[in-house]
Amino acid sequence: MICVENVTVRFGGRTVLDRLSFSLAPGEAVCLTGESGAGKTTALNVVLGLIRPDGGTVSGVPDRIAAVFQEDRLCESLGAVRNVRLACPGLDRREIAAALGELGLEEAELAKPVAAFSGGMKRRVAIARAVLAESELLVLDEPFRGLDDDNVARAAAFILRRRAGRAILMVSHSEREAALLEARPVPV
């Protein structure tokens, strides 16, 4: 069980998180909600160990975590399959191509460098990379940013189909997106 207890984070003189508390059980999905600037991404970064809180504690975070960040963080000169393979070296090309196909990427597109992809296509590659990676926790920071409604539904279904009992910690401004991933909302 991941437990975030009374976490406070300050940047300069500004308090970004003020005594945030929530828990996340194995296999559960939680969506951090709130207005822009409320500290949702900061909370994810605390759980990921990228930011140390000024107060409070975080415990129970597993060692193996996969993440979709707000930025896609792809290697632009590589194709979609090679980008996914970087995080999933045990998967063969066929398995990766099938997963990317589930997300609506055509076989003919997979060899092109992702630099030639639209923003939505890049986002789907980033989602595939995180979901296919071996992990105990999926961290999703606005995972559907840049996707149209059809691709949001397709990506959410892909995540649910392939989550394999993993916990999900996500950030979204959309109650609909949280509901698509069956996530319990936690206000920040």
What average pLDDT does the segment 141-161 reach? 96
Identify the CATH number of the domain defined by range 2-187.
3.40.50.300
Percent of the chain at pLDDT > 90 equals 91
- How far, in Å, are 34, 173, 175 from residue 142 at the CA level? 12, 8, 12
Q: Compute the distance between CA of residue 94 and CA of residue 43 in angstroms, rounded to an integer.
A: 36
Domain ranges of the chain: 2-187
Tens digits of per-residue pLDDT, 5-60?
999 999 998 999 999 999 999 999 999 998 888 899 999 999 999 999 999 999 99
pLDDT at 175: 87
What DSSP character marks residue 183? P
pLDDT at 47: 97
Residues 6+ apart with CB under 8 A from 94: none
Task: Quickly count: other Cβ atoms within 10 Å of residue 87's Cβ.
Answer: 18
* Per-chain mean pLDDT for the chain: 95
Q: Which residues of 36-68 are buried (b: 16+ CB within 10 A; e: fewer)?
A: eebbbbbbbbbbbeebebeebebeebeeebbbb
Task: Report whether 2 contacts 137 (CB < 8 A).
Answer: yes
pLDDT at 82: 94
Task: Report whether 130 contacts 68 (CB < 8 A).
Answer: yes
